[in-house]
Structure 1
Amino acid sequence: MSQPIVLVSHLLCPYVQRAAIVLLEKGVPFERRNIDLANKPDWFLAISPLGKVPILQVGKTAIFESAVICEYLDETLPPPLHPPHPLQRAQHRGWMELGSAILADIASFYSAKDEATLEQKALQLQHKFAQINAVLGEGPYFAGKQFTLVDAVFAPIFRYLDAFDAIADFGLLAQSPAVQAWRQALAQRPSVQRAVVIEYPQLLNAFLSSRNSALSLHMQEHTPRFS
């Protein structure tokens, strides 16, 4: 790709991580431009109709929505991260949507205001992870030995689990040993490691502790629950 590429980012956004992982897998040079989502600059609002990150700027053209960005990058840059068969591609897109649903559940989990809601959200997450556990093969990645866009979607999800596990055992992968193995494999992937800044774990912990939620209380008490 001859035109300069800029990824407009936020340091904690998991959807930004998806795009960054794909760019890193493609080996294409790009610039990251981080913004404060609490104080969005006018230039950003002019190119982001939804007011969200990521935004991919390719030359003078801006593309928004992480799924669209990842699909565009996969269509225009080697190596392909989608399977070649249309039916398999459609299946993968469906699992990518499940990844987005899990991110929504994770947000509900860390924002839960009381212990009962926190446990309910944990059970919802446990169920979704069990669903994907049922379709995973020998690994190490979602589709076996080949890294795909599904892997790029789930790697940021597992970063949240790293933070949750450091707080308490919520049993989110209690029924999903294959997902646990997949999680560990993705953590070793260079593109996944480089998709965030070194300070990411500390920044995420600070964000979680500021939520005034049941999880925040767990962080203060640091006592395991749901085990």
Structure 2
Amino acid sequence: MVIRLFPFLNSGKRTHFLPGSVIGSLSIAQETGSGEMLEAQFKDYTSSEQALICRDLVLDRMTRMAADAVSVEIDVETRIGVLEDDLLQIKQQIRSRDFSAANEEVRQCCERLQLPFNPDFHAEFARLVCTTLRQLLKLEIDALEESEDPLVKGWDLLQRHDIRVVDGQLPRFFTVSEALEIAIEGQTEEMKKKASHNSGTRHRIRRRHSDRPPG
């Protein structure tokens, strides 16, 4: 049985925003006749899984930035100094094609997502992770220097990674298994709506035919 995952799924009174990357990265299979839970099958990092990992990285960093923005315990000047050192280092690493910083970031993302961690991922993906880190560091520096809300300052970056800010709040983290449960629940509701719509359509067609005068 194939189940489509939708970018946003309604479940009762809750609305869950799932990125398009989730849709592409989850392959769902069902054990026929056993009633077992559906499970996601993951192999190496596909382009969709890479997008999912980068999204998690951005969401994690932006969540911390948003918390720091309202914290009275942050020394802004000290924080900017640390960030500038980190930014200089990641720029130098990218220029020298040293993408080792990506390894730990990907590992942490996989842990949050409950994805298998593959340390031998391709260099192009490592470059993508490091580039995302550079963007996040620059964003945080700019937001601190300009005393601006990082969620406003980073709007474009959030949009590029399918992260929606609703009422000034970032979405919560989803593991892959939670995303699957939400998707399955949403798909069930969607199937019910389609069945109801199709039934109503057939009823209207039959009624139109029955109202026709005999030929």
TM more than 0.5 = no
Which structure is larger by alpha-carbon Rg, 1 or 2? 2
TM-score of the superposition, structure 1-length normalised?
A: 0.29
> Which structure carries more helix by proportion?
2
TM-score of the superposition, structure 2-length normalised?
A: 0.30
